[in-house]
Amino acid sequence: MNKTSPFEEIVQKNENKLSFGIGKAILYSAVAVIIMQFAGGIISIPAIFYQPLNHVLLPLGFLAGTVSAIVILLMLTQTKFTTILQAIKHPFTAIQLILSIACWLFLLPLAEVFTSLIPTTGPLEDIYKIFQSSFEMMLDYKIAGFIMVCLFAPIFEEIIFRGIILKGMLNYKVNATIAILINGFVFGMAHMNPWQFIGAGLLGIIFGIVYHRTKSLFLPILLHFLNNTLSYSLMLIQGDMEGEVFAHRDYLLIGGMTLIGILSVFLLMKQTEQKTI
């Protein structure tokens, strides 16, 4: 087996300049969101005049926006896409997979509780109605919505927010806890509505912990896929976006699951000691 020479290691490090501080991480996140909205909006313009085009343009617009954002971020950070592929292909163990899923599954009720605290009436009612109508539009384009929400979003959003934004901060030696919290914050903000901000922010923290501890970008992609598929399936079954996994507030059950989720995070961290990014 050929070993990498010191010279080749230096070359590889120079090729990967994915390293930046908190300020740039926030800036790059904003740039990514703007590009995603702009490119996706342009692609979706024909559907304004002929709505059936949404069957194609909804996922195509999302794909164009996220891919454009990734390309721009890689250019800004002078990073090759092979760096992202290496993170996706990074090996992980069966116990890491099980603990990662447990972290997401058992902390999911907590995300729902926090999300439910944001009122949908009063000053936010008009904003909520706009958000609700635009989100439930996918009920008319079920396959397009599935492709966009359950397939494209987990892959490309994780590349942007964990594979580039979070890893850039970690490579810059930003404290891991601070980097993960900031990453969760910008991920929540990227959804551009108060109801997804808390839930997505908390999930972003969970995905960030999993990525940081395992080095595998595939695992947060998988968790993101499971989360979005579960939410989207409930929306299709119930016919609206109000559906929750834990609709009945059994706080004793939710508290117990939260403790198991925290224990899962602790066990994942112990299992991956000295193996962080």
- How far from 275 is each of 13, 98, 161, 230, CA to CA, in Å? 19, 17, 21, 31
Residue 247 has pLDDT above 60, yes or no: no
Cβ neighbours of 213 (radius 10 Å): 25
Q: What's the confidence (pLDDT) of residue 9?
A: 45
Q: Which residue has the higher pLDDT, 194 or 202?
A: 202
Q: Which residue has the higher pLDDT, 196 or 64?
A: 64
Residue 14 is inside which H or E element, if any?
helix 6-15
Residue 12 has pLDDT above 70, yes or no: no
Residue-wise pLDDT tens digits, 42-70: 999 999 899 999 999 999 999 999 999 99
41's tokens: 């909006």
Q: Say how far apart CA 42 and CA 91 lie, in whole Å.
A: 38
Average pLDDT over residues 159-188: 97
Q: What's the confidence (pLDDT) of residue 137?
A: 80
Q: Which amino acid is at 218?
A: F
- Of the pLDDT bands very low, low, confident and very high (cuts 50, 70, 90), residue 132 is confident
Q: What's the confidence (pLDDT) of residue 246?
A: 60
Q: What's the confidence (pLDDT) of residue 140?
A: 86
Residue-wise pLDDT tens digits, 73-87: 999 999 999 999 999
Q: Say how far apart CA 61 and CA 46 lie, in whole Å.
A: 11
Q: What's the confidence (pLDDT) of residue 78?
A: 93
- Of the pLDDT bands very low, low, confident and very high (cuts 50, 70, 90), residue 11 is very low
> 3-class secondary structure for 185-206?
HHHHHHCCCHHHHHHHHHHHHH
Q: What's the confidence (pLDDT) of residue 150?
A: 96
> HSE-up of 152 (CA within 13 Å, CB side)?
19
- Of the pLDDT bands very low, low, confident and very high (cuts 50, 70, 90), residue 193 is confident
Cβ neighbours of 151 (radius 10 Å): 16
Residue-wise pLDDT tens digits, 97-128: 999 999 999 999 988 888 888 888 888 888 88
- Residues 231/195, Cβ–Cβ less than 8 Å: no
CB neighbours of 259 closer than 8 A, spacing ≥ 6?
none
Q: Say how far apart CA 98 and CA 121 lie, in whole Å.
A: 39
- Of the pLDDT bands very low, low, confident and very high (cuts 50, 70, 90), residue 151 is very high
- Of the pLDDT bands very low, low, confident and very high (cuts 50, 70, 90), residue 275 is low
Q: Say how far apart CA 154 and CA 188 lie, in whole Å.
A: 14
- Residues 208/162, Cβ–Cβ less than 8 Å: yes
For the question of whether the overall pTM of this predicted structure is more than 0.75, the answer is yes
Write down the residue that tokens 């944001």 correspond to: 118
Q: What's the confidence (pLDDT) of residue 63?
A: 97
Average pLDDT over residues 216-238: 94
Least confident residue range of 7-11, 84-88, 139-143, 217-221: 7-11
Q: Which residue has the higher pLDDT, 134 or 164?
A: 164
Q: What's the confidence (pLDDT) of residue 117?
A: 83
